[in-house]
A and B are shown apart, each in its own frame.
Chain A
Amino acid sequence: MSTAVMSAVAESAEQRAALRSARIRAVIFLLFTLASFSAASAAGAKEAIFSFWIDKIGGKDIILTFPIAVPWLISGAISGAIATLQFLRGASFRWRAAIGIAAPFYAVATVGALLDGTAANLTVLFTGTLNYAAPVAIGSLAGIISERSGVLNIAIEGKFLLGALAGAVASSLFGVAIAGPIAGLLIGAAVGLLLAVLGLRYKVDQIVAGTIINIGALGITNFLYLRVLQRYPDLNQPVNIDPVTIPVLSDIPVIGNIFFNLSPYFYVAVLLVGFFTYAIFKTRWGLRLRASGEQPSAAGTVGVDVIKLRYRSMILAGALAGFAGSYLALSGTGGFGMGISSGRGFIALAALIFGAWHPVYAFGAALIFGFADATQTLLSILGVGLPPQVLLAVPYVMTIIVVAGLIGRVRGPASAGRPYEQG
């Protein structure tokens, strides 16, 4: 069989698989529709009582009362429309964007159902969601950059821990807020370089290399916390990076409180995601980056220094992840604590897989994880609904579902994880 025929066969097999998973997706959306409608009928006339702070947190609030059935009905209708479109358009349907439209309604419906009639203020729920998403989105971005260049990156968790510790200590030592993020950035870059040397120079399996960083980071940060920070608590009293109030916009009632009074990390995350989306898909650097992740030999043939590019990407990715890690210790949590990242580095990985290695979609996934976490916090404060352990497990279970691709199969960069021999 000639290569042309073989590739045609392969292509049609791939297309068939894509069509099949598109159909499965349509069925799943349909199931969601049915589930929403049945939830609506089960809710009956029960009302959700939500309130939002109007001008400032803890100030005057506006109370919204509506039957829980309403958001369920809207969610069901939207999923029904998505299911139909997915079925008609097949594999080319942009279902991730569609989920983005349905997600907020599901969010409202789920919270309403979980609260089951208990009145709750949701401003903090939404700010919590956005603040949680910030480090996760930046962590995902780090993963995207290194994996797009062709190096698997499972060490985000370790870089979060080291970034958090370095951020806390540097901020405490220098007494200026900016020292924390910079220290996180620097240590992350150093770890990124170490990963690159292990993976690219010494050809250590990239998963093993990532595991080395993760275990080593857990060990050394716990060790330093117990041996140094506990004995010298002054070293763990960082200058917190407080939420910033954006003038004018933050005066908008209700909305201003939610979107324009957040941790600076959130706005930096938005800027970074925007910038790198442009850089990855619209610039020469981005084209080279993607080429060396997909087809490094071709990139090498046309003169791209693949190894150098991968080194730089790893250092950049490390810097981003370390910077994101500093958030964990500097956002009013009382400095560094052992295991402060609690798996968020891995959740960032799941977000990048769910987001199909695209920064904007990964940010969306980070928001979903953030929402799960914020809901859990809200419910355990109010003491309603499920036991706290069940809620705490939600992001982890969601991560498994996402990684398993139960919603949609995704394909990562073809050459991520394979060493490249420069010819």
Chain B
Amino acid sequence: MTRLRKLLATIRLPAISVLVALLVGAIVIMLSDLEVLGKIPQDPLGAIVLGVQRVYLAYTSLLMGAFGDPAKFGKAIAAGGDAVLWAKAFRPITETLLASVPLMFVGLAVMVSFRTGVFNIGGEGQFMMGALGGTIAAIVLGGAGLPTPITILGVVALGALFGAAWAFIPGILKARVGASEVITTIMLNYIANLFIFFLLVNWELIQREDRTQPISKALDKFVVIPTILPIEALRLHLGFIVALLLAVVVSWFLWRTAKGFELRAAGLNLPAARYAGMGAASSVVIAMLISGAIAGIGGAFEVVGTVKQLTTAISGGVGFTAIAIALVGGTRPSGVVATSLVFGALRNGGALMGLNTGIPIDLLFFIQALVIMFIAAPSLTQRLIRSPFKRRVKEATA
């Protein structure tokens, strides 16, 4: 019972933050609708009704895109054991899980660095470099006809290596000369993008045949990451399981090993950690290497398992979303996994929202920024939501 109460107390602030952010998002949807705005002078009530309708349509598509259409579940139940109908009904949920996979990887990556006091905003670039590593491994190893398990191991290893190498640069610069990782990681995001663009149009090994656009060869010709569910239409693959396992490993590493303790100590109080004889500089580098490797594996799975071709759009802002996820998840692996599922649902549902209502998915970035703001400023959130929640929010943040 107390455990349940504790859990509720932990998730109250994140939950409120997400809900309030969605509410603000709803207001933005209404205010950016010029038809709604145009109606206000003559028919203010009608304008509000129209605005609410628009928001309702948007958010219901978001939910259906994320969790499925109840009507389809009804059909599947009525038809009994028809696998195709069940697959159709369940597809949105599995797509949500699939969308949460890169978020979990990069969320975990960013979380490890945050715990060590390093504000790694370079998840985006490390993810892209990992995707590049995965692409190369898939083409080389898969092309050489190696068995699938070995190729997949190679994909993961090269993804981790590329991501870690990319994260090593800001890590060593921060440790050695105190260069702000905020700026260096962002610069490396831009450079990764240009680097991959350059390779995609200049390197025959990965370049798509007879194409001048920056796009790689189709990777499913070389290797296919096994899917988890037996039905072909459900694309959820091995990456999901690896992400969950990594969350467990990260949790064990940070809270059950001496090195992990050193990293967290460096994040909590750098001078004290240094005074206690811990190599603070090496903590920063190690944290960045781990962070980059995890993000890189995420990129490798995303490109080989899900998207199946490398473009410069492979990351789609995952590095920024990961910051929100790490903070909303209370910089804990369990929290990161849970938040990734929620944000994966938003991302996946956002696609249907865009399709049905033309509301750009970029709105989610804005919502994420709001979520970070509400989480980072609990007393602000407390002010926004008056009395009934007041005491509890305080409890949650204590």
Interface residues of A (CB under 8 A from B): 154, 198, 202-205, 207-213, 215-216, 218-220, 222-224, 226-228, 231-232, 342-343, 346, 349-350, 353, 387, 389-390, 392-393, 396-397, 399-400, 403-406, 409
Contact = CB atoms under 8 A, between A and B. Distances in A.
Given A202-B379, A209-B376, A397-B191, A349 B183 contact: yes
B34 to A, nearest CB: 6
A215 B173 contact: no
A392 B194 contact: yes
Interface of B: 28, 32-34, 119, 121, 169, 173, 177-180, 182-184, 186-188, 190-191, 194-195, 197-198, 202, 320, 323-324, 327, 358-360, 362-370, 372-373, 376-377, 379-380
Question: Lowest 4 CB-CB distances: which A-B pairs, in order?
Answer: A219-B365, A216-B369, A219-B366, A222-B362
B173 A404 contact: yes
Contact of B187 (A218, A390, A400): A400
A405 B119 contact: no
Contacts of B177: 404-406, 409
A223 B28 contact: yes
A406 B179 CA distance: 10
A207 B376 CA distance: 11
A226 B360 contact: yes
24 contacts: A198-B376, A202-B377, A205-B376, A215-B320, A215-B324, A219-B367, A220-B28, A220-B362, A220-B366, A222-B365, A223-B362, A223-B363, A227-B32, A350-B183, A387-B202, A389-B194, A389-B197, A393-B191, A396-B188, A396-B194, A400-B179, A400-B187, A403-B173, A404-B177
A167 to B, nearest CB: 18
B32 A223 contact: yes
A400 B367 CA distance: 30
Contact of A223 (B194, B360, B370): B360
Nearest to B379: A202
A331 to B, nearest CB: 21
A215 B377 contact: no
Contacts of A409: 177
B366 A154 contact: no
Contacts of A215: 320, 323-324, 365-366, 368-369, 372
Contact of A211 (B360, B366, B372): B372
Given A215-B323, A220-B28, A403 B184 contact: yes
Most buried by B among A202, A219, A396, A400: A219
Contacts of B186: 343, 346
A350 B187 CA distance: 10
A135 to B, nearest CB: 17
A177 to B, nearest CB: 24
Given A204-B376, A390-B198, A216 B365 contact: yes
Most buried by B among A218, A387, A404: A404
B274 to A, nearest CB: 15
Given A208-B376, A223-B32, A404-B184, A389 B179 contact: no
Contacts of B121: 211
A393 B195 contact: yes
A397 B119 CA distance: 20
Contacts of A228: 32, 34
Contacts of B33: 227
Contacts of B320: 215, 218
B179 A343 contact: no
A198 B373 contact: yes
A142 to B, nearest CB: 16
Most buried by A among B178, B187, B323, B366: B187
A181 B345 CA distance: 40
Contacts of B360: 222-223, 226-227
Given A223-B363, A228-B34, A405-B177, 4 more contacts: A219-B365, A222-B365, A346-B183, A396-B187
Most buried by B among A215, A350, A392, A406: A215
A232 B365 contact: no
Contacts of A211: 119, 121, 182, 323, 372
A403 B179 contact: yes
Contacts of A346: 183, 186-187
B12 to A, nearest CB: 18
Nearest to A205: B376
Contact of B327 (A208, A222, A406): A208
A105 B121 CA distance: 37
A389 B362 CA distance: 26
Contacts of B380: 198, 202
A343 B193 CA distance: 13
A400 B188 contact: yes
Nearest to A213: B369
Contacts of A396: 187-188, 190-191, 194
A212 B377 CA distance: 11
Contacts of A397: 187, 191
Contacts of B28: 220, 223
A206 B289 CA distance: 25
B330 to A, nearest CB: 14
A387 B372 contact: no
A397 B368 CA distance: 29
A353 B180 CA distance: 10
A212 B372 contact: yes
Given A219-B368, A223-B366, A343 B190 contact: yes
B173 A198 contact: no
Most buried by A among B28, B121, B186, B364: B186
Contacts of A389: 194-195, 197-198
B124 to A, nearest CB: 11
A223 B27 CA distance: 13
Contact of A212 (B180, B197, B363, B373): B373
Given A219-B369, A220-B28, A400 B194 contact: no
A141 B195 CA distance: 31
A232 B187 contact: no
Given A228-B34, A400-B187, A218 B323 contact: no
A244 to B, nearest CB: 32
B383 to A, nearest CB: 9
Nearest to B358: A227
Contacts of B119: 207-208, 211
A412 to B, nearest CB: 10
Contacts of B323: 211, 215
Contacts of B370: 216
A376 to B, nearest CB: 11
B327 to A, nearest CB: 7
A405 B178 contact: yes
A95 B320 CA distance: 38
Contacts of B191: 393, 396-397
Nearest to B183: A403
Nearest to B114: A208
Contacts of A342: 190
A342 B359 CA distance: 24
A216 B197 CA distance: 26
A215 B367 CA distance: 9
Contacts of B179: 400, 403-405
Nearest to A342: B190
Given A211-B372, A389-B194, A219 B183 contact: no
A215 B238 CA distance: 31
